Structure 1
Amino acid sequence: MLDKQRAVFRGRQFSLADRDDLPAAVRQRKAFLPDPLPSGIVLRPSTYGELMAAQEAVGRLDAAMAQVPHRATVSRMLQALDTRSSAAMDGVIVGRREVLAAAMPGAVAADPHPRWPGYQRVSEMIVELARSDRSLDPTVWARMSAAMSGSDVPDDAFAEELPWRRHITWTNSPAGEDLIVHAPPGAELRVATEQWCVWVREQRELPPLVTIILAQIQFLLISPFPGSAHLARQFPILMLMRAGVLRDPVLPLATWLRRHEERYLAVIRGVLDRGDPDELMVIAAEAIREACYQQIELVAELTDVHRGTVAKVARRTAAVRLAEALIDRPMILVREIPELCGVTGNHAVEVARRLHKEGLVEFVDLKTLGFQAEETISGKAIVATDIARLLTLVPSPGPERQSSAG
Structure 2
Amino acid sequence: MEFRTETAKAVARADHMLGRLDEAATRLPERGALVRATQWRELAGSWGADGTEVSVRDVFLQDLRGLRNPPVTDPAVAEYVAAADDAARRARAGEAIGVMLLRRTAARLPTSGTSTERGTDPPWRTTDRWFGARPSSAYLLAVPPGAELRTAAEQWVAWVDCPSDMPLIAKLALGAYQILTLAPLDNSEEVANLYVVLELIRAGALRDQILPVSPWLAPRSAPYHIRHRAVAEDGDLDGWIAFVAEGIARLCRAQLNIVDTVEELREEFLDRLGRRNDSLARAVNALLGTPVADQALIAERSGVSLRHSHDLIKRLRIHGVVREMGQRKQHKLHEVPAVMRVLGSAEDGA
* Aligned-residue CA RMSD (Å): 3.3
- What is the CA–CA distance in structure 1 between the aligned matches of 2:255 and 2:326, rounded to whole Å? 30
Deviations 1:147-169 (A, max 9, x none): 1254696xxx66xxx65332224
Tell me which residue corresponds to 1:268: 228
Alpha carbons of structure 1 residues 197 and 315: separation in structure 2 relative to 1, 3 Å: closer
Aligned to 1:78: 37
Counterpart check, 1:224 vs 2:189: no
**Structure 1 position 178, deviation (Å):** 8.2
Mapping for residues 234-273 of structure 1, pairs under 5 Å: 234-257=194-217, 261-273=221-233
1:294 to partner: Cα distance: 0.9
Tell me, what secondary structure is at the counterpart of 1:165? coil
**In structure 1, what is the equivalent of residue 305 of structure 2?**
342
Preserved CA contact (<8 Å) 1:145 1:226 = no
Distance 1:90 1:102 in 2: 23
* CA shift for structure 1 position 171: 6.8
Partner of 1:305: 265
1:113 maps to 2:78: no
Q: Which residue, 45, 58, 68 being the options, matches 2:18? A: 58
Q: CA deviation at 1:290?
A: 0.5
Q: TM-score, normalised by structure 1?
A: 0.72
Alignment partner of 1:204 out of 164, 167, 181: 164
- Following the alignment from structure 2 to structure 1, what is the Cα–Cα distance between the partners of residues 228 and 16? 24
Instruction: Note the C-alpha offset of 1:286.
Output: 1.2
CA deviations on 1:139-197 (whole Å, 9 max, x unpaired) are 641321211254696xxx66xxx653322246779xxx988653211121122122222
**1:273-308 Cα deviation digits (max 9, x unpaired):** 332223222221110000111111211221222233
1:329 is matched with 290
Matches of 2:152 and 2:248 in 1, distance apart? Answer: 27
How far apart, CA to CA, are the structure 2 residues paired with 1:88 and 1:388?
21
SS at match of 1:255: coil
| % identical aligned pairs | 24
Change (3 A) 1:86 1:355: same
Instruction: Return the alpha-carbon distance in structure 2 between the equivalents of residues 140 and 395 of structure 1.
Output: 28
2:87 counterpart of 1:126: yes
Cα distance in structure 2, aligned partners of 1:364 and 1:178: 49
Give 1 or 2 for the bigger CA radius of gyration. Answer: 1
Write the deviation string for residues 63-113 of structure 1: whole angstroms up to 9, x where unpaired: 112222123x24433333333334424634211122223332414346532
Distance 1:103 1:97, change over 3 A: same
Shift in Å at residue 49 of structure 1? 1.0
Q: SS at the partner of 2:108? A: helix
**Distance in 1 between residues matched to 2:67 and 2:131, nearest whole Å:** 39
Instruction: Describe the shift of the 1:129–1:82 C-alpha distance in structure 2 as closer, same or farther (beyond 3 A).
Output: farther
Residue 246 of structure 1 deviates from its aligned partner by 1.6
- Distance verdict in 2 for CA 1:357–1:224, change over 3 Å: same
The aligned amino acid for 1:389 is: R
Q: How many residues align?
A: 335
C-alpha distance in 1 between matches for 2:265 and 2:197 = 27
